[in-house]
Structure 1
Amino acid sequence: MGVRITYLCVILCTSCNGIGIGIDLARYPIDSPTSDEYLQMVNRARRSLAETGCASFPGFLTAEATAEAASEAAAKSPSAFVTDSTHNAWQLPDDDPARPPDDVRNVRMRTRVASTAYDELDEGGALKRLYQYDEFVQFVGAVTSQPRLYRLADPLGACSINVFRPGWHHAWHFDESEFTTTLSLQQAERGGEFEFTPPLRRSQAELAEPAVARILNERSPYRVSCVVADAGGDATAPPVTTAPFAPGTLQIFAGRYSLHHVKRVADDATRERLVAVMCFATEPGKVNSAEVQQMFWGREIDRLHVSPMSMRANRLVRSVFLMLLMISVATVVTAEEAAAEPVPEAKSEAAGEAAAAEASPAAEASPEPELPPLDCKTHELLEKVDTWSIDCVAMWLANLGFPELRTAFTGNKMDGVALKSLTMEKLAEDYGVSEEDQRKKIYYNLKDVLRKDNAAGNTNHYSQMFFWLLPLLGIYKYLTLRYEKQIEKAMKKYKKWQDARNPPAPVEIKTFDDGTNEWTRGLNRDVNLGPKKTKAEKDEEKKAKKIKTPKAE
């Protein structure tokens, strides 16, 4: 008999699909990554990104979702941090003293833009819903040909809103992130167009200075020189493209490789240019540099640190979690180690009689053979998929609600290693799962299990032990903080009780021949009094003081 303790905790979460987020799925079916429409859309975007450095998706968000996001951006605009600074095209912090001041490497251009940081956006707002939508991240990764894409761990620049007011612009530059995803929310009446070049470099270390110099000389008010010779010998500037950027348009461009800028918004414009900037990385834990954070948001926050507002929110979340944990129910479930046989559904009496009347004598004579029990323990499904046996795969399918697939999967000797290569096409062709909803349920549940394996192992025994101890550690920390003074008083009482129970041994004081002891000698030494003086010596000192001090006339 095994005993399992299950903690019933309350988790508040928002489950949403692309429609709830506001994506036009009829035009951009990003929730169906195996469909032909999705693959064709991704292939077109990849070609555009490789040829021009940009892939645009007009009307990606519905009009309602765009209006919601624009309303949030406009409400946050007055408190956005204003950047009015200069930078070179590569946003490098220091100039090169070996080059002349007008060299393209040293010329610093002015940028004026306001930005609302990611930690200032509304939780559950349209922009955070979109940025946290897993299918959206997978879609951006597919367009950029990245096998795995991660959200930026920067609490400021992961998803921000750029605000361009009349007379403001963003000078020509390269981005630090490899690819940048933007979403147009509101356009100014005139000005504020987004212009970009084809990819000019292949890595962040490559500067492509001659091409950048030609762009600045032709399409900016700055005149620069370039001490680096152009290896290609082409004296013409690279072509520049203006992106169509109506509200609701999603745009993915190679910001690290394509030079780009936002033109000056007209001085007489009455509307601000509002655009959301969503950043991703090919490695987890990436953040913007301290220079970029300070430039665009006026503060520096590492991914492991949070702002005071976030700290208060975290404390509130921890308090709620601890309160829910204190009132949670610990249910002890005793069960056999082996998997229990499924309980057949009860049939009505009429249905049973009808079935008995229709049953033929031949069927009664040859009942359907009963399948042998599965040789898989319940806890084995908590291990990594690679360790699953054929029977464990069959048990996993039965838990999903597909016990009828047991024969097909066991016949093909489908164990955990083979299960990892299962696709929706194989489910339809090799295993006869004709309905698309059923194929999606099996396929995406498998992806969830594999995602947990890749993150930290499906259920490592040590991680299980850690998560069992985590609530106890939380309770201990809460109680120590809540009753700190009471605990301190109790510890003092306990110490007094221990002293009374086990009193210290008396200290033997050493006495000397002159009648003094080590205590008085130590006291005299500390106050610098020396040995005790006699009454005659004290009278002589008083007489000497009277002689030295004349009386005032």
Structure 2
Amino acid sequence: MPEQMTDFDLGSLVDLDRYPIHARGSQAYADTVRLARKGLGTEECAYLPDFARPEAVARMQEEAESLIPKAVYFSQQHNPYFSKVPENPGPRDPRAILGRKNNGLVPGEAFPRDGLIWNLCRHPAVKDFVEDCMASGPLHFYEDPYGCLNVSVQRAGEQFAWHFDTNEFTVSIQLQKPEAGGVFEFAPNIRTPENECYDDVAAVLEGDRSKVIPLDLRPGDMQLFKGRYSVHRVTEVEGDTPRLIALLAYARAPGMYATPERSQQIWGMVHPKQIEAAARHQRADNLTD
């Protein structure tokens, strides 16, 4: 069963006057969902400023800071597609333009179950709200012990270069803003399912800002983003204050875990629950991963 505290005081975490996610079915709730869907429909991004209350954000910052030593760090060069560079790329082939991703991720099992980050990000009302905003079918909490909830940690000099997502959407809540840099930037709908639009993607990678939208998230802001067709990045962080952002995780089927092989690849470790789930064949599909 999911580990969440359904009796947690949601009003102490979320500005329910502005975002009445506790009142599913009300007109105010419907209006909030409609605005989020509008952003997702036009720019693939819904921006909800000051979603979390300032007092809760301050406490979540402290909690996240205390968890930084438990983060697993990653560093890799990649093209926007996380694919191999073609053997004979053209002069402006974006598949041959490499950037760098380096950041840390606090694994889900590190979060105290009575802490604010866990109880906000795993609250059923938040999940239901995201489900209604995305309007693409039921969502369930992702149960993987490492991937169920993460905080991304980016320190001075760290970034996430231009890329597309393989997943359907991402949901995040900014917890801490760095002194400079760490800005989320995206070029919405720059490719389509039928056309990679390599020239347009290459232009962005080469510095063309005409299609780029910067979104300088503040602590407490929530973002719903569809990055499959919108190339995006996080600019290099500057200063001593790390960029901290909570990454919420959902699945299309209940009881979903990463495979042991995928977990080893991402985290460098395997959890017994992943092995148990693999033995039970708890997968929503038969894909390799």
Q: Pick the TM interval, shorter chain.
A: 0.7 to 0.9
Looking at structure 2, the residues matched to 302 and 47 of structure 1 have their Cα atoms a distance apart, in angstroms, of: 42
Residue deviations 1:290-330, cap 9 Å, x none? 89756753335596338xxxxxxxxxxxxxxxxxxxxxxxx
Residue deviations 1:210-250, cap 9 Å, x none? 3321211116xxxxxxxxxxxxxxxxx76111114110111
Look up the match of 2:110. 120
Give matches, 1:104-115, under 5 Å. Answer: 104-115=94-105
Distance 1:292-1:183 versus aligned 2 partners, 3 A rule: farther
Superposition deviation, residue 104 in structure 1? 1.9
Superposition deviation, residue 56 in structure 1? 1.1
| TM-score, scaled to structure 1 | 0.45
Looking at structure 2, the residues matched to 290 and 243 of structure 1 have their Cα atoms a distance apart, in angstroms, of: 35
Q: 2:79 aligned to 88, 99, 102, which one?
A: 88
Looking at structure 1, the residues matched to 260 and 228 of structure 2 have their Cα atoms a distance apart, in angstroms, of: 18
Looking at structure 1, the residues matched to 272 and 196 of structure 2 have their Cα atoms a distance apart, in angstroms, of: 27
Distance 1:174-1:208 versus aligned 2 partners, 3 A rule: same
SS of 2:224's partner is strand
Q: 2:125 aligned to 101, 111, 135, which one?
A: 135
Superposition deviation, residue 152 in structure 1? 2.6
Q: 1:58 aligned to 49, 52, 55, which one?
A: 49
Superposition deviation, residue 154 in structure 1? 3.3
SS of 1:275's partner is strand
Work out the number of aligned pairs and report it: 274
Looking at structure 2, the residues matched to 148 and 259 of structure 1 have their Cα atoms a distance apart, in angstroms, of: 26
Counterpart contact for 1:85–1:295, Cα < 8 Å: no
Superposition deviation, residue 45 in structure 1? 0.9
Distance 1:163-1:101 versus aligned 2 partners, 3 A rule: farther
Residue deviations 1:180-218, cap 9 Å, x none? 001000001111111112123455x96443332121111
Look up the match of 1:41. 32
Looking at structure 2, the residues matched to 303 and 197 of structure 1 have their Cα atoms a distance apart, in angstroms, of: 38
**Alignment partner of 1:145 is 2:131:** no
Distance 1:136-1:206 versus aligned 2 partners, 3 A rule: farther
Larger Cα Rg: Structure 1 or Structure 2?
A: 1
Give matches, 1:268-279, under 5 Å. Answer: 269-279=239-249
**Alignment partner of 1:215 is 2:204:** yes
Looking at structure 1, the residues matched to 195 and 251 of structure 2 have their Cα atoms a distance apart, in angstroms, of: 19
Counterpart contact for 1:287–1:302, Cα < 8 Å: no
Looking at structure 2, the residues matched to 218 and 303 of structure 1 have their Cα atoms a distance apart, in angstroms, of: 45
SS of 1:218's partner is coil
Distance 1:106-1:183 versus aligned 2 partners, 3 A rule: same
* Unaligned segments of structure 2, at least 5 residues: 277-289
Counterpart contact for 1:81–1:296, Cα < 8 Å: no
Q: 1:71 aligned to 59, 62, 69, which one?
A: 62
Superposition deviation, residue 91 in structure 1? 2.1
Look up the match of 1:155. 145
Distance 1:13-1:164 versus aligned 2 partners, 3 A rule: closer
Give the superposed CA RMSD. Answer: 2.9
Give matches, 1:48-447, under 5 Å. Answer: 48-92=39-83, 94-97=84-87, 99=89, 103-203=93-193, 207-218=196-207, 239-266=211-238, 269-284=239-254, 293=263, 297-299=267-269, 304-305=274-275
Give matches, 1:513-532, under 5 Å. Answer: none
Counterpart contact for 1:21–1:130, Cα < 8 Å: no
| TM-score, scaled to structure 2 | 0.83
Distance 1:246-1:87 versus aligned 2 partners, 3 A rule: same
Residue deviations 1:491-542, cap 9 Å, x none? xxxxxxxxxxxxxxxxxxxxxxxxxxxxxxxxxxxxxxxxxxxxxxxxxxxx
* Percentage of matched positions with identical amino acids: 31
Q: Which has the higher contact order (CA 8 A, sep 6+)?
A: 2
Counterpart contact for 1:155–1:303, Cα < 8 Å: yes
Distance 1:136-1:31 versus aligned 2 partners, 3 A rule: same
Looking at structure 2, the residues matched to 265 and 194 of structure 1 have their Cα atoms a distance apart, in angstroms, of: 11
Counterpart contact for 1:211–1:238, Cα < 8 Å: no
Residue deviations 1:430-453, cap 9 Å, x none? xxxxxxxxxxxxxxxxxxxxxxxx
Q: Which has more strand, going by share of residues?
A: 2
Range 152-161 or range 130-139, more displaced:
152-161
SS of 1:78's partner is helix
Distance 1:217-1:283 versus aligned 2 partners, 3 A rule: farther
Looking at structure 1, the residues matched to 149 and 86 of structure 2 have their Cα atoms a distance apart, in angstroms, of: 32
